[in-house]
Amino acid sequence: MKVLDVSAIKDGSVIDHIDSKSTLKVADILNIQNEEQVVLVGMNLTSKFLGKKGIIKIGGKIIDQKEVNKIALIAPNATVNIIKDYEVVKKFKVAVPEVIEGIVKCFNPNCVSNHHKIETKLHVVSKNPIRLQCHYCERIMNSKDIVLI
């Protein structure tokens, strides 16, 4: 029998296979404290692939592309499941896009994007490990430099 570590939801989004240590960062991206419907968070659950994983279930919410792009930067192995009437109706793995616009701050304090009202733009030069190059100042950032907007 299949027993769920965190109970099933009727409608909403399930973010599964989060690297356990990144679970609360994903929770921040999804702004779960402002949700009005059921939110379930599991951490250090057993996973065949990751050893330990995190999972976040949000009732009544379909997560949007911007949120998926942010999650991909923090939890590259995450899977998104959309649930309708207790069934998984859509399942996909998050993916880092080629260009990241408006979601990551450039870490160079002198970059023009930190001084003028322009949307940040970074080119993904490597996905694993993640390396991003600022479109404006051309500085290269690693995962430790990433600050989400």
For ligand CTP, the binding residue among 86, 109, 115, 128 (CB under 6 A) is: 86
18 touches ligand CTP (CB under 6 A): no
Find the part of the chain contacting ligand CTP (CB under 6 A) among 21-29, 84-92, 94-102, 139-147: 84-92
134 touches ligand CTP (CB under 6 A): no
Closest to ligand CTP by CB, 81 or 113 = 81
Calpha distance 29→105 (Å, rounded): 15
Calpha distance 15→9 (Å, rounded): 12
CB of 61 to ligand CTP, least distance (A): 13
Closest to ligand CTP by CB, 46 or 110 = 46
Give the chain as a DSSP string.
----SS---SSEEEEEEEEGGGHHHHHHHTTGGG--S-EEEEEEEEETTTEEEEEEEEET-PPPHHHHHHHHHH-TT-EEEEEETTEEEEEEE----SEEESSEE-S-TTSGGGTSS---EEEEEEETTEEEEETTT--EEEGGG-EE-
For ligand CTP, the binding residue among 15, 16, 30, 72 (CB under 6 A) is: 16
Closest to ligand CTP by CB, 5 or 101 = 5
Residues 38-77 that bind ligand CTP (CB under 6 A): 55, 57
Q: Enumerate binding residues for ligand CTP (CB under 6 A).
A: 4, 8-9, 14, 16, 55, 57, 79, 81, 83, 86, 88, 91
